[in-house]
């Protein structure tokens, strides 16, 4: 598979704070019915949300924010000593409603994108986390259907022990 990325730039980004460099990759699901709906929201200035990449069910990858910038995907939370996760991470959104299995083409594209990012940024597999890992009180994505074992087998992440009965936090 050749890594093909389509630019569809979002206005929702800023500078990384304090000279931070990416040392994490945060995996999300969009919780929307279609990739197009997610693309629209992630690029709409009024929602003030974005990610560096969006991967559609069929494996198409959109670059929404240049990796040198701070995308607005993580929100409040922390990972170890990192409390400004947005400044220290690259965010990848997977078009998924949160209930459905992740498509094979989508997971293939994620593997290729992750391998490229980890190599270029010198990020270890332990640096690939879920949104739920850094914000466990408020987020559940990428959720129990996400195949962490597949990523671990390929050296692209570590298995997460996500509780199956955990429900989405109330709004």
Catalytic positions are: 93
The DSSP string of 46-66 is GG----SEEE-TTS-EEE-S-
Q: Is 60 exposed, middle or buried (0-12, 13-18, 19+ CB in 10 A)?
A: middle
If you search the block for the tokens 């997977």, which residue do you land on? 94
3-state class of 38 per DSSP? Answer: helix
For residue 37, what are its two tokens?
A: 């709906």
């Amino acid at each position: 598979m050749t890594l093909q990325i389509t630019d569809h730039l979002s206005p929702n980004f800023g500078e990384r704070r304090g000279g931070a460099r990416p040392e994490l990759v945060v995996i999300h699901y969009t919780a929307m019915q279609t990739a197009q709906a997610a693309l629209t929201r992630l690029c709409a200035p009024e929602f003030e949300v974005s990610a560096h990449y969006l991967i559609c069910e069929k494996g198409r990858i959109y670059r929404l924010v240049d990796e040198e910038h701070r995308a607005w995907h993580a929100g409040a939370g922390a990972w170890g000593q990192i409390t400004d996760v947005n400044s220290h991470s690259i965010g990848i959104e997977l078009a998924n409603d949160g209930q459905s299995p992740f498509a094979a083409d989508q997971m293939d594209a994620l593997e290729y994108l992750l391998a490229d990012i980890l190599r270029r940024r010198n990020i270890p597999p332990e640096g690939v986390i879920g949104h739920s890992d850094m914000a466990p009180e408020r987020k559940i994505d990428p959720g129990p259907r996400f195949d962490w074992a597949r990523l671990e087998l390929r050296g692209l992440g570590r298995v997460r022990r996500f509780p199956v009965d955990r429900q989405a936090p109330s709004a």
